[in-house]
């Protein structure tokens, strides 16, 4: 055997799981794909976001809150294991409401989440209060208020990925980039993982290859139903600090750039469009009109990894014990939970019952468990 655990995919999900496996003292090898792969981990918005998540899925809402609470320690430990910068803060976050209807809808989402038993950590703030919270800017006339969740935070997602990639080898793990896996073959006592740079063997395999996950697991009867969704993001030049709270759709990074995004588009094309840039810029200017004078320096598109019901999938093969899959949206938010909770469970060979709501069995009771 070449390792205790092989992880396929070194995006933020695979890397956080590998970090968590390495922390348990087991040996881990991560195999990543080609440079032209779809990589949400390198295209996302960087929110460590709680409010609104899993408002119709109590287990997901709880996992998100747990991850959010684990994040400060996760960040500090990771920062100690790597010399790289890792900008993270948790001042709470805002979801801006640009009409009475948006305000009421938002309040209803919060109420649904709280009714499921989540702690009342999210509150509606009216315009006057919002103005007090944001003294360095003038809000646009359409801003009615916002929903504020004290648990929300944000991180530089590229620094997060780079820190994980740095920490894993320093803990005895190994990452092999540009080594796409073709096939997983069950053998006595484990699996052969056949990849471009050769075949490796391990008793446990976790597939965390983003949107490519089903192509690797489905031949073995492990179904992971995903769809993709395009999200475009705009970034401004570095500006003096004006936004002390990250917002859904608008956040100022520690570097000073303002990120504006992201769209939700049901298209397969990975390009960017002028119409989305316009739509994003117009909404940002309705919130903070002065942004109209800021220069945009970049625009990009990323493909979300979306389970059909948007709740993460942590799946375990019944036919081939030791084979797992992990696929989710919000892999940044969930990174701390992946490292501390999911990784040790998968590495030990069995997902405990508490994770049953995330099994792939929820999509098709006949086909899988």
Partner 1 sequence: MFRSVLEGPTAQADMTVLVNGAETPAWDGETVAGVLLRVPGAGRTSAVTGEPRLPYCQMGVCFDCLAIVDGVASTQGCLVPVKPGMRIESQQGAREIGR
Which residues are at the interface with partner 1 (CB under 8 A)?
136-138, 237-242, 255-256, 290-291, 293-295
Cis peptide before 262 (omega within 30 of 0): yes
Which token pair is 321? 């014990």
Order of all β-strands in the sheet with 88-89:
47-48, 153-155, 88-89
The residue among 139 and 181 lying less far from partner 1, judged by its C-beta, is 139
Size of the site for ligand FAD (CB under 6 A): 42
**How far is residue 295's CA from residue 238's CA, in Å, rounded to a whole number?**
9
The residue among 292 and 349 lying less far from partner 1, judged by its C-beta, is 292
Q: Is 217 a binder of ligand FAD (CB under 6 A)?
A: no
Q: How far is the CB of 319 from partner 1 (least distance, A)?
A: 53
The residue among 120 and 240 lying less far from partner 1, judged by its C-beta, is 240
With tokens 């401004």, the residue in question is 236
**How far is residue 199's CA from residue 50's CA, in Å, rounded to a whole number?**
40
The residue among 256 and 349 lying less far from partner 1, judged by its C-beta, is 256
Residue 137's binding partner out of ligand FAD, partner 1, none, with CB under 5 to 8 Å set by partner kind: partner 1
Q: How many CA atoms lie within 13 A of 105 on its CB side?
A: 9
According to DSSP, the residues that pair with 360 across neighbouring strands are none
**How far is residue 195's CA from residue 182's CA, in Å, rounded to a whole number?**
5
**How far is residue 187's CA from residue 128's CA, in Å, rounded to a whole number?**
65
Q: How far is the CB of 236 from partner 1 (least distance, A)?
A: 9
Of the candidates 172, 184, 155, 201, the one whose C-alpha atom is nearest the C-alpha of residue 19 is: 172
Whether 286 and 139 have beta carbons less than 8 Å apart is answered as no
User: Shortest Cβ contact with ligand FAD: which residue?
Assistant: 11
Residue 291's binding partner out of ligand FAD, partner 1, none, with CB under 5 to 8 Å set by partner kind: partner 1
The residue among 145 and 157 lying less far from ligand FAD, judged by its C-beta, is 157
The residue among 49 and 144 lying less far from ligand FAD, judged by its C-beta, is 49
Residue 9's binding partner out of partner 1, ligand FAD, none, with CB under 5 to 8 Å set by partner kind: ligand FAD
Q: Is 338 helix (H, G, I), strand (E, B) or coil?
A: helix
Report the residue from 3, 6, 7, 10 that binds ligand FAD according to the rule CB under 6 A. Answer: 10
Q: Is 87 a binder of ligand FAD (CB under 6 A)?
A: no
Q: Contact positions toward ligand FAD, by CB under 6 A?
A: 8-14, 31-33, 37-41, 43-47, 49, 180-181, 208-210, 212, 216, 231, 233, 262, 302-305, 327-333
């Amino acid at each position: 055997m070449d390792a205790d655990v092989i992880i396929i995919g070194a995006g933020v999900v695979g890397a956080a799981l590998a970090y968590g496996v390495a922390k348990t003292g087991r040996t881990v090898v991560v195999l990543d794909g080609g440079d032209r792969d779809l990589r949400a981990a390198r295209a996302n918005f960087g929110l460590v976001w709680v409010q609104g998540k899993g408002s119709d899925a109590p287990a997901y809402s709880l996992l998100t809150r747990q991850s959010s609470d684990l994040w400060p320690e996760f960040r500090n430990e990771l920062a100690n294991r790597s010399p790289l910068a890792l900008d993270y803060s948790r001042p709470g976050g805002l979801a801006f409401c640009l009409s009475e209807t948006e305000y009421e809808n938002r309040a209803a989402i919060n109420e649904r989440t709280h009714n499921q038993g989540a702690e009342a950590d999210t509150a509606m703030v009216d315009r006057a209060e919002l103005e007090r919270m944001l003294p360095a800017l003038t809000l646009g006339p359409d801003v009615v208020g916002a929903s504020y969740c004290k648990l929300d935070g944000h991180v530089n997602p590229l620094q997060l990925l780079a820190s994980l990639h740095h920490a894993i080898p320093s803990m005895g793990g190994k990452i092999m980039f540009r080594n796409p896996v073709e096939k997983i073959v069950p053998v006595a006592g484990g699996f052969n993982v056949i990849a471009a740079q050769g075949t490796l063997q391990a008793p446990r395999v976790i597939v965390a290859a983003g949107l490519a996950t089903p192509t690797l697991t489905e031949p073995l009867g492990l179904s992971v139903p995903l769809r993709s969704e395009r999200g475009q993001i705009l970034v401004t030049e570095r500006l003096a600090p004006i936004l002390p709270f990250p917002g859904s759709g608008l956040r100022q990074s520690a570097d000073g750039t303002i990120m504006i995004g992201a769209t939700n588009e049901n298209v397969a094309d990975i390009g960017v469009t002028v119409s989305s840039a316009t739509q994003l810029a117009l909404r940002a200017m309705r919130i903070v009109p002065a942004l109209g004078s800021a220069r945009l320096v970049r625009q990009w598109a990323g493909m979300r990894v979306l389970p059909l019901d948007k709740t993460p999938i942590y799946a375990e093969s019944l036919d081939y014990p030791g084979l797992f899959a992990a696929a989710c949206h919000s892999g940044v938010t969930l990174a701390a939970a992946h490292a501390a909770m999911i990784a040790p469970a998968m590495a030990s060979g069995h997902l405990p019952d508490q994770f049953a709501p995330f099994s792939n069995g929820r999509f098709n009771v006949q086909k899988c468990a």
